[in-house]
Structure formats: structure tokens, C-alpha cells
Amino acid sequence: MSVTLSATLAANEDIERRRRAGERVLHLAFGEAGLPVHPALRDKLAAASERNGYGPVAGASGLRDAAAGYWTRRGLVTDPELVVCGPGSKPLLYGLILAIGGDIVLPMPSWVSYAAQADLVGSRPILVPAPPGEGGVPDPDLVAAAVRHARADGRTVSSVLVTLPDNPTGRLARPETVRRLAEVARELDLTIISDEIYRDLMHDPAVPYTSPADVAPERTVITTGLSKSLALGGWRIGVARLPEGAHALRRQLLAVASEIWSAPAAPIQEAAVYAFGDPHELTDRIERSRRLHGTVARAVHERFAEIGASVPVPQGGFYLYPDLSHLRLGGSAEITKILLEEHGIGVLPGHAFGDDPSAARVRVAVSLLYGETTEERLTALTSPDPLGLPWIAANLDYLSEGLSRLAPVRSHTVRERRPALVPTPCHG
């Protein structure tokens, strides 16, 4: 088996090498939340630093209780015994794919690690496009046809994975789409794995949010973590909520966990207990993060729209998925190379997400535009006008300049910009 480095991590390392070598690169390729750790979380971690025992494979009882409370407050009453914790939601997803077995249906495009993890465990992914204008949930009618076709060929198809809201598109599937997928999953006896790590980062909390667990609780597994909402990617902690009665799946998942990660890190679990309790200071931090992500994502959306790119308005997280095919500069690999090597703009090619390589679609992450230092990032987080901050304005101007050189910009679409206050260094 040949395994390559994750596309996101490889791009991040390549861009960092270029920047250390003195190249100016606007880093739009890595999905790190780009914000500092809240002081209260640092205090909780420090206080638990002497806890060095392995602990239960499923996670400490306090963390499972806290995670159950987190979901219960969001309308999904949860038994702590059906919560399994791990060192990030990514290992949990891997463990679930392995424990469930069989082949898996994925949205197209979808996060780079889903298909890679399926390949690692011998589960052949079936890529199904999302409905037009949506993301993260494969078109239910196409899922039904694809699963029936695969089963007619003798394949065992056991699960379908969704992301709400989505990476890479930044879009949220409509409630009707989620409900229809739940119906298809019942008809075909599929387990639904719902990656909801961006749930608390919906730009507009008033937009209707439907989890598959709301409509198909008996067959939906939810995963989430703290890496996005609270910018704790390097702390590596995640939780999974299993369906009622899924005792066999729980045993299988714990067996996998016991052989791969043994137990989540004890001090991190203590900090996560506090985080999943939704204390006011952290919900306030998440609310500020949500506003910042949405404000900057919409500003970046405008820059791509101005050059004629087809790009859905982002709804959650810190991603966009523009289509630059109108420029006729090649497919996703070619346009990614041109942006990086000729214009100093780092993005990820759509084919890394399972998309058609001939389409010039790219994944853009805005979360490293907020500043280079903790002080700059905190200022961005609390500013009533983050787009007016010198370093963010400079980043956006640099992006506009690079994009404008790809093709002539239609004069009637260009709005007047405020001048950048710092003309040279590119932060983020």
C-alpha cells in the first residue's frame, strides 16, 4: 500500500518552507483556526498537567458526561455511555470507518482525509456529488442509485459520511437534503457518520441546522472536537456520539482505539470537560470567532467574485470553494501552481478533495489571514471592523492584486478599496 502525506499538511509544509526562504506567500491552504488559546483553557490544562495515567479507553467519565451535555443542549439527548473520546475527531473517524466495515459513500468534493482513511482500511469510497449549491451531503437520489449499483456488483456498502457545515465548500446542506438522505439510509440500511466539527461556527446561527441524528437517531454517529471552534488543533481531542443501542459498534470502536491510541491524553481531557460545558467565557469566544470567520470569508468571497469566479457564499467555518474554470488556465493542479508560483497565493487543488481534476476549483481557507502574532489575532477577534486592521487589509489587497493578474477584471464589478496601511510584509 502506498500512502502519501495529507494534501493539507503537505501544502502547509511547502508554504512554510517558501516563506522561510524569503518568498511572500499568502497562506490560504491550511484549515487551522488561526486564533489564540483562551486563557481559561490554558489554566485548566496547566492544573491537570500532573495527570499522567492512561485512563479508560472510551475517555474519562467526566468528559463523556460533558460531551453528552453538549449534545443534549443542542437538542440531542445523549447517554454518556454512548460517547467515545479520542485524540482528535480524525482518529475517531478512522476508527469508525474501520469498525463499521464495508465500503463508504462520500460527498464529492469532501475533506481530503475521508477517502484516504477509507483506502487505508480497505474500504473503497464511492464519491457522489452534492446537490447544486450545497456541500457536505451527497445527493440522496444519486446515493441510492450508486449503492444499489455497487451492491449489484457484489460490493458491501455499509455507511455514508456527511459534513455539516462543509469543508471544502463552506456550505451547509439544506434540512430537506439531510432528511432525504436519512430516508435513503433507512431504505438501504446505511450507517450515517456526521462530522459536525464546524457546527458551532455557522456564520448566521439563525440558518436552520439539521443533523442526521435529528431525523435518523438510530443510525447516526456524530463526531466533533475543539480544534475549530476553540482553535485547539494541536491539543488533539475529539468525541463521538453513537446511536442508541449501538453496543456492537461501541465494542468494535473501543477495540480499535485500544490498539491505536489507548486513551486520550489525560490533561487534555480535563480541559475538554470544561470546554464542552459551554461556559460563558468560551461561548463568547466562539461567538466572536464565528463573526470573524464569516466577515473575512465574505470579504475573500468578494475578491474571487470580482474576477468572475463562480463561488458559493460561505455559510460556516472558514472555507470557500471558487471555480476559476472561466479563465481557461487548466485544471485544479494547474491553477493552484499558477497561483502559488506566479502570484504568491497558496490554495489547495480541488482534485485533492476528490473533485474532477479538469475543473479549476480550489479550496481557500481564510483563517490564517488574521495576523502573525497573538496580539494581532486577539485584536482581530475583538475588533468591530477587522477588515480595517492594517495587516488584514494588506492581506486582502495582496489577494486582489494577485487575482487581478490572472485575468482582466471587469471594471463594473470592482469596488473601491481602502488603501492598505502596511505596504510590504504579508501577515498570515
Chain segment 368-390, per-residue pLDDT in tens: 999 999 999 999 999 999 999 99
Quick one: pLDDT at residue 2?
60
Residue 358 has pLDDT above 70, yes or no: yes
Q: What does the pLDDT read at residue 15? A: 79
The cell for 331 is: 485544471
Per-residue pLDDT at 81? 97
Specify the pLDDT at position 252: 97
Average pLDDT over residues 142-168: 98
Mean pLDDT confidence for 15-22 = 78
- Rounded to whole angstroms, how far apart are CA atoms 385 and 373? 18
Name the pLDDT band for 35 (thresholds 50, 70, 90): very high
Residue 416 confidence class, pLDDT cut points 50, 70, 90:
very low
408 has pLDDT over 70: no
Is the pLDDT at 428 greater than 50? The verdict is no
Per-residue pLDDT for 116 more than 90?
A: yes
Give pLDDT, residue 12.
Answer: 75
Q: Which three cell numbers stand for residue 71?
A: 449534545
Q: Do the strands 26-27 and 362-365 form a parallel or antiparallel pair, or are they unpaired?
A: unpaired
Average pLDDT over residues 266-293: 98
- What mean pLDDT, rounded, does the chain reach? 93
Q: Quick one: pLDDT at residue 417?
A: 41
pLDDT at 3: 63
What would the mean pLDDT of 255-274 be, rounded to a whole number?
97
Residue 18 has pLDDT above 80, yes or no: no
CA distances from residue 74 to 98, 116, 193, 211 in whole angstroms, order as listed: 28, 31, 18, 10
Residue 1 is predicted with a pLDDT of 56
170-197 pLDDT, tens digit each = 999 999 999 999 999 999 999 999 999 9
Burial class (CB in 10 A: 0-12, 13-18, 19+), 186: middle
* Per-residue pLDDT reduced to its tens digit, 311-339: 999 999 999 999 999 999 999 999 999 99
Distance of CA 369 to CAs 174, 212, 373, 389, Å? 29, 33, 11, 11
> How much is the average pLDDT of 241-258?
96
> Residue 100: its pLDDT value, please?
97
Closest by Cα among 210, 139, 217 to 175: 210
Confidence band of 9 (pLDDT split at 50, 70, 90):
confident
Residue 21: the pLDDT is: 78
Position 418 confidence tier, pLDDT thresholds 50, 70, 90? very low
71 Cβ partners below 8 Å, 6+ apart?
A: 77, 78, 222, 241
pLDDT at position 170 is 98
